[in-house]
Structure 1
Amino acid sequence: MPEGKILKALSGFYYVMSEEGIVQCRGRGVFRKNKVTPLVGDEVVYQAENDSEGYILEVKERKNELLRPPIANVDQALLIFSAVEPSFSTALLNRFLVLVEYNNIQPVIVITKMDLTNENDREQIKRYSMDYRNIGYEVILTSSETEAGLEELYPHLEGKISVFAGQSGVGKSSLLNALKPDLDLKTDNISSHLGRGKHTTRHVELIKVGNGLVADTPGFSSLEFLEIEQEELNFCFPEFQRASENCKFRGCLHLAEPKCAVKMGVEEGSIPEYRYSDYKDFIQEIRERKPRY
Structure 2
Amino acid sequence: MAEGQIRKAISGFYYVEHEGQLIQCKSRGVFRLKKINPLVGDTVTYVPDGENDALITDVHPRKSELVRPPIANVDQALLVFSVVEPDMSLRLLDRFLTVIESHQLEPIIYISKEDLADDQTVEANESNLTYYQNIGYTVLRNRGNDDPLLEVLRPYLNDKTTVLAGQSGVGKSTLLNTLLPELDLKTGVISDALGRGKHTTRHVELMEVAGGLVADTPGFSSLDFDHIEKEELRNYFLEISEAGESCKFRGCIHVKEPGCAVKAQVEEGIISESRYKNYLLFLQEIMDRKPRY
Shorter-chain TM band: over 0.9
- Deviation string, structure 1 residues 244-271 (Cα, Å, up to 9, x no partner): 1111100110010111111111111111
Taking every aligned residue pair, what percent have the same amino acid on both sides? 57
Tell me, what secondary structure is at the counterpart of 1:8?
strand
Distance in 2 separating the partners of 1:144 and 1:165? 21
**C-alpha displacement at 1:291, in angstroms?**
2.0
Letter in 2 for 1:120: Q
**C-alpha displacement at 1:176, in angstroms?**
0.5
**1:111 aligned onto 2:111:** yes
Tell me, what secondary structure is at the counterpart of 1:14?
strand
**C-alpha displacement at 1:32, in angstroms?**
1.0
- Partner of residue 283, structure 1: 283
**C-alpha displacement at 1:292, in angstroms?**
3.0
CA contact (8 A) 2:252 2:260 kept: yes
- The runs of 5 or more residues in structure 2 that have no matched partner are none
- Partner of residue 208, structure 1: 208
- Partner of residue 219, structure 1: 219
Normalised by the length of structure 1, the TM-score is 0.96
Distance in 1 separating the partners of 2:195 and 2:165? 18
- Partner of residue 27, structure 2: 27
- Partner of residue 76, structure 2: 76
- Partner of residue 182, structure 1: 182
CA contact (8 A) 1:167 1:219 kept: no
CA contact (8 A) 1:166 1:219 kept: no
Distance in 1 separating the partners of 2:51 and 2:130? 52
Distance in 2 separating the partners of 1:53 and 1:147? 45
- Deviation string, structure 1 residues 132-184 (Cα, Å, up to 9, x no partner): 00110000012575555212211100011100011111111011101111110
**1:242 aligned onto 2:242:** yes
Distance in 2 separating the partners of 1:52 and 1:140? 44
Question: Would the alpha carbon gap of residues 60 and 28 (structure 1) be closer, same or farther in structure 2, given more than 3 Å must change?
Answer: same
Distance in 2 separating the partners of 1:197 and 1:125? 22
**C-alpha displacement at 1:233, in angstroms?**
0.2
Distance in 2 separating the partners of 1:181 and 1:149? 16
Normalised by the length of structure 2, the TM-score is 0.96
* Equivalent residues in 2 for 1:161-180, closer than 5 Å: 161-180=161-180
Letter in 2 for 1:292: R
**C-alpha displacement at 1:107, in angstroms?**
0.4
CA contact (8 A) 2:205 2:215 kept: yes
Letter in 2 for 1:2: A
Q: How many residues align?
A: 293
Question: Would the alpha carbon gap of residues 144 and 61 (structure 1) be closer, same or farther in structure 2, given more than 3 Å must change?
Answer: farther
Q: Which moved more, 1:121-130 or 1:180-189?
A: 121-130
Q: Which moved more, 1:231-240 or 1:42-51?
A: 42-51
Tell me, what secondary structure is at the counterpart of 1:86?
coil
- Partner of residue 57, structure 1: 57
Distance in 1 separating the partners of 2:123 and 2:201? 32
- Deviation string, structure 1 residues 200-227 (Cα, Å, up to 9, x no partner): 0000000110210000011315211111
Give every structure 1 segment of 4 or more consecutive aligned residues whose post-TM-superposition deviation is greater than 4 Å.
143-148
- Deviation string, structure 1 residues 50-91 (Cα, Å, up to 9, x no partner): 785211000011111111100001100001111111000100
Task: Provide the alpha-carbon RMSD of the alignment.
Answer: 1.4
Letter in 2 for 1:291: P
Letter in 1 for 2:58: E
**1:140 aligned onto 2:157:** no
Q: Which moved more, 1:90-99 or 1:256-265?
A: 256-265
Tell me, what secondary structure is at the counterpart of 1:286?
helix
- Deviation string, structure 1 residues 73-120 (Cα, Å, up to 9, x no partner): 110000111111100010000000000000111100011111101111
